[in-house]
Structures are given as structure tokens and as C-alpha cells.
A and B are shown apart, each in its own frame.
Chain A
Amino acid sequence: MAEEIQQIVLTPIQGQTCWLALRPSGLCRSDDAGASWQTLLSNEQLASKLARLIVSPDFAHDQRLIVGGQPGIWWSQDGGRSWQPSEIELPLPSITDFAISPDFKRDQTAFAASTADGVLVSYTGGRRWARWNIGLFDHRVLSLAISPNFAHDRTLYAGTSSGLFRSNNSGRSWQEVTTPLGETAITAVQVEKHYEATALVIGGTRAGLFLSLDEGDSWHALGDDQLPASIKAILTSNDGYGLERLWVLAQEQLWLSDDVGASWRRAGLSQSSAAIVALAALVDNGHYKLLVADREGGVQLMERDS
């Protein structure tokens, strides 16, 4: 486990929690809380650097995984035992992020962000992808987030190298959203339901974290000076009132807020002082599970908000 982890994912399957970890060498899976790992996909097979992974919200049934490479996209419908390259028009894009429809089982819709080709959309569960960049004039897309109410509002957000863009028609066209970050790169975006409102949280490279409860019309800072800049990832508890518990990964430190970002404290691995590089969360039977990976390849499950 000495190899750095780029991304980790927690997903429930058959009464257990499955861990998926994306490393420079490939994609691994553990069904025993990290005691043993099975290689699902190696870079030798793909001859490409794996960059990003997305798991179907209905993984327990459809076993659908999609990985983005630099360049290319592959998909699996058997939990990673076999993989097919997706059909994409040349040139192949280098993937930086994915977003998947919460209603994926019905609409088979997923989105991919790329380093130079904007946003790609798939309506076929990852088999075929097409570029849809109408209105998105910055094609260096760093982060994507999809509305939890996507089936009705068809909304998603793209954080780019120079600002934030929103689509209200399933990614067919985009409009720029004015943010307090100006033309700063938006490295992380998260959309959650927060009571009656849809909350949009963004983080940038030079400034901290900002929240909007009106689709980006107005913003306020979360955490003021408590958080470091350069937000890499934003994570919510995903329990229906997502912002009650908010994790942020910034400058390889994990920060936790239990009060919608008003106050923050450092969180981390109890047995490691290594820099944190990836995290994933899951609410399972009312219990928070947070999986944290450090730079040295260590992975640890935090059942409590330690």
C-alpha cells in the first residue's frame, strides 16, 4: 500500500461496504475494509494514466464503473472484471472529473470534465461520449457537480480554470456564474440539498470556500480565515441535509465543520501524520463513514468525526 491514492470511493454492496481506490498503477477494490485489495484495472492494460473514477449510484445492481484516463474513458458493467473503451470522437480527452446523474438507473446520464475539451456527456451509461460545450468558452474544466434534484431541475455546474459555469438543460448549454472568486480557477464544486434550498459550495485555488443558496446569485464565505486556500475537494455527509456536516480537503489537510461552515477544525488520521490526498464519505444505516487516504498510500475508515 505504499503507492499514493488519487481517489477513493465507498459504495455499499451486498450488505458490505466496498472500497475502490484509484492509484497511478490502476484501480483496486477491497471488500474487507482494506485488509486485502484486488486489482480491477491496471495501467498496463490501458497504457494510460488513470485519473478519475465514478461509480453508478445503483452499483449494487448494475455493477457499472467508469474510469477516466489521460487520455480516454473506459467503462465496466461487471464491477470491474472486464472493461471496454468508450466511444469518443478524436482527439481523446484527458479526464479531470466526473458527475453522474442521481437517476442514472433510468437516464444513464453521466458527465466528464476534461483538461482541454470542456465537458463530455454520455446518455448511454458511459458507452458513448460527446462534447457539449455551447456557452462554455473555457474548456479547461477542473470540477463538476450535479444537482441532487437533477431529474427535475437538469442542473449541473462546471468549475473551470477561469470561473464557474452552470447548465440548466442537462449540459446542452452553459452560462457563466459570477462568483466572489472572479477569474480564479474553481477546483471544487459541490451541490447539495440544504433543507428547502439547493446549496452550491465552491472552492478555488487562491481563495477559500463560498456558499450560495440561490443558484449563484449571491455568495458568502464559509470559514473566513480558518480554512487554508487551494481547496481540492468538498464533501458532504450526503444524508439529505448535506451541509450540516462538511469536509474540505485543502493543502493536504482535512477540515471538518458541523455547523454549515461557520466554524472549522482539523480532522485526520489517528495513526498517521502524512498528508491527506483523498477522501470519501458514506452514510450507512445512519452512521457516517469517512474514508481517508494519505500520500503514503495509507487508507483509514473513520466511523466517527475524529
Chain B
Amino acid sequence: MLLRDVLWRVQKQVGDGTATAAILFASLYEQGVRYIAAGGNAMQLRKALERGIETILKALDAQTQAIQGQKNLTRLAESLCFDAGLAPMLGEIFDTVGHYGFIELRNSNSRQTSHRYVAGSYWPSKTLSPYFYTNPGALRCDLYDAAILLSDLDFNDPREMTSVVQSVLQSEHKALLIVANSLSESVLGLLVAAGRATPLKVVAVQAPEAGVARIAALQDLAALTGARPLLKDAGDSLRGWKLSDLGGARHIWSDNRRLGIVSGQGDPRRLRQHIRSLQAAYEAAESDKKEPIRNRIGRLLGCSAAILIGGDTESEINLLEERLKKSCALMRLALHDGVLPGGGIALLNCQEALNDLHTTSDQDEQRAAYSMLMRALEEPFNTIVSNAGYEPAAIRSELNNAPAGFGFDALTGQVVDMTAAGIYEITQVLKQAVRIGFSGAATALTIDTVVHKRKPEVAIARS
């Protein structure tokens, strides 16, 4: 039961690594139970185990290397999704959009899965009237060199909006985008008429998102375009509006689902500060709160890609979507935190640091704890080798004569340079498997009775 909780936590935090965590847990727990049954001090053992775990985590950090380049990312993708067709696409996408990239998974109209990059940044939104479409056939409007009035207000008074349109007409702007919560019929009529009767092209769209996310989206749009947003919460209205409140963009597009901004004309220094503050918030956020912040950063950096998922049946498409979601999440972790040599080699390499502790420690419990951890660190490697039908001791002997960084490729049965062969572990995944797997086992060794809930609060998504 405790093991289930351990695996649940690993899956929830990093989405992978449960098998490694289970193997580490089982090995340490079995060794620990034997030691305690023979009269060892459980609490002293646990304390030493915790010190040993920290040493392993530091040793893993020391081995971590950044992963970059389309070729390496493609190899990593193949090891994550086990699909030679998808891997080159994921490798190219992540080489292009990077860790912060905003990747949208959509159903394709064809059987093939494809991808495309979206110029600029886009938000969920919609054009407030079909009369605004500049290309009615495609249900789309495009504005070039447009001014932007940014708000989350309800515009109901046509007189106030008239003064805005007149001011913009007298300026150098050729087009005007109005972002609002809603427009009254009379304001809508005024804007449509202005678009037809004057050289100014006018489009109105709904403010993106809702609630707190809307404020965040408007802040991002403001940094990108240089606009000063008029906000309900700040008590703003069109009465105090000035021409300098307008932002700008080289190209704006909108349809019935999205609002896109290409080459916003905001101050790049202000935009840089805004991105940096979001990056700091991202690093400080807990893992389940990171995604919305990451999407904001990705949008501001113009890193947007769409994967159009194709398939013959709905279940095939759903399965592919789940696999892509998991692979994308792990690719992001790899880009952000780096990778380690795979196949259990990174864990074997940590034995040296533990051995140093072992030789310098003077307590029985400490020596026992470090020995147990060293033994447990061998288990993932042994399991991989055994599962491939080879004898672990023989392969270990081969590895002892191989250069540093070499490991066992279970697919080919060869001892190879793991980095050159593209056999990686994602650092964050392995570290969580080590931390949670070993800590769980250490906790279990000091527990006699466990009270547990009958059902977990949330089911783990199928992966």
C-alpha cells in the first residue's frame, strides 16, 4: 500500500519513473527489514539512509548534462514515445520551441499526424461579430499595422466609442483592434459602420480567457503590444482614455476561436522584464501550477506549435494524444533539467560517492545504510539486463573495462557510449524516483501500522 502511494507520487510529479522507483523501494525495503530483524536500530538506519539519498541526488546532479540539438532530441523522443514516426517530429518541434514552447494538440482532418508552427502568439478568443471578418469565407480577419485598444470592459456608450474612433482616424494608424468583454448593439453598429465608411479597418474581439487568467492574458498582451489595458477592477473607463493608451502590432488575426498577434510593437525592454518575472514565478511554482505560467512565457516568446493528430479511429487518436501529452511533458523536463546516461548507468555511477561515505563512517547503522543503498542502486541496471536475457554480472564485468559513460544497450546487446547512442534518463524523473522511492522505503522501515484511504482522490490518467 505504501509502495502504491510512492508510485502515485512519482507519477503525479514527473509522469514517469515509477518502475525505477518500485525497484529501488523494493530492494531497499527488503534489505532494511532483514537488518532490523537482525537487531539493527531502525531510526538510526533511517537517518543514515536520508544522508545517503542526498549524496545520491548530488551525484546525479554532477552527472547531468544539457540536451540540445534536433538529433539528440529526436533520440530522446524515440526513447519516450517508442514511435519512430513521431520522434523526428517531436525532436524538431522541441528543438524549435524549446522548454517554454506552447504546444497545442488538435485533432486533424486527415489520417496523418502533422505539425505546424504558428507565427507570433495567440490566445483563445473570438471575433465579436461576423461583420468584422475581412475574409468572410475563411471566417477570419487580418489587420496590418494596427492599433490596439486593450480592455476587459463592456462598451455600451456609442458616444464614448465615437471619440476613440475619431482619435484613431486622425492618427497614423490604419487599423484598430478593440479587445473588450462585450459590445452593445449600438457600439457594434458604430464600429461596423466606421469600418465601412472610413479608411480605418476596425475589428472587435472578446478579451481572452476568464477571471484571473484574463487579467494575466491582458497583462501579457499589454507587454507585447505596448498598450495600457483598461481594467474593470481598476475602475477604468473610456472617459479617461488617451491615444497613448493604444498598443500596436504589425499583424493581428482573429477568427471564431483565436486572437493572434504577430510582431507586437511593445517596448522590448519592458517585455524582457515581464518575461523574466514570469520565468522567476515559474521556477518558484509547484509542479502542478507551472503549466499556465509556462504557456504564458511560451506565448510571449512566440514559441507556438500545433500538432494535428490523425488516425483511423477515435480510439487510435485518443491513444496517440495521451502518448504525445506524456512525451511532450517529459521532453520539457529534459530540456529544463537535463539528462543522464540511461540504462541504470547513472545510478551505478553514484555508488562511488556512497562508497566514500561508507569508508569514512564510524557507525554500524551508517555503514549498513550506505551498503544497502549501493546494492539497491544496482537493481535497475540488473533488471534491465536480466529482462533483455543477459547475465548482469557478465555485463558488469564488461563495463568495468569500458571507458566512462559506457553502458549496456538492451536492444542491441552491446556495450556502447550511452550519450552517443542516445540512451538517456531524464534527470528530474530519475531524481524523483530516487528521492521518493528510497524515502518511501526508509519511512516504511520505521512504520508498524498504516491507516489508508480506500480509494485515491483522483485516478491516474492512463499512460
A residues contacting B by CB (< 8 A) are: 90-91, 116-118, 131, 133-140, 160-163, 168-169, 172-173, 175-176, 183
Contact = CB atoms under 8 A, between A and B. Distances in A.
Given A173-B95, A173-B98, A137 B268 contact: yes
Name the residue among B97, B145, B250 with the largest chain A CB count within 10 angstroms: B250
A135 B302 contact: yes
A116 B119 CA distance: 14
A160 B145 contact: no
Contacts, number: 72
Interface string B75-108: 0000000000000000000011110010000000
A150 to B, nearest CB: 15
Interface residues of B, number: 29
Given A91-B250, A133-B302, A135-B98, 10 more contacts: A116-B250, A116-B263, A131-B262, A133-B119, A134-B97, A134-B117, A135-B301, A160-B268, A176-B272, A183-B272
Which are the 4 A-B pairs with shortest beta-carbon distances? A138-B268, A91-B144, A162-B268, A172-B96
Interface string B141-174: 0101100000000000000000000000000000
Name the residue among A137, A139, A162, A163 with the largest chain B CB count within 10 angstroms: A137
Interface of B is mostly: mixed
Interface string B420-462: 0000000000000000000000000000000000000000000
A137 B271 contact: yes
Contacts of A176: 272
5 contacts: A90-B251, A131-B263, A135-B301, A138-B272, A183-B269
B275 interface: yes
A169 B250 CA distance: 25
B96 A137 contact: no
B303 interface: yes
A134 B302 contact: yes
B127 interface: no
B56 interface: no
Given A135-B303, A162-B268, A91 B251 contact: yes
Given A117-B263, A173-B96, A137 B250 contact: no
Contacts of B120: 133
B91 to A, nearest CB: 11
Contacts of B95: 169, 172-173
A138 B250 CA distance: 13
B302 A137 contact: yes
B216 to A, nearest CB: 17
Contacts of B264: 139
Contacts of A140: 268
Contacts of B275: 137
Nearest to B68: A168
Interface string B254-285: 00000000111100110110010000000000
A136 B264 CA distance: 12
B300 interface: yes
A131 B268 contact: no
Contact of B70 (A90, A135, A136, A169): A169
Nearest to A135: B301
A147 to B, nearest CB: 15
Contacts of B272: 137-138, 162-163, 176, 183
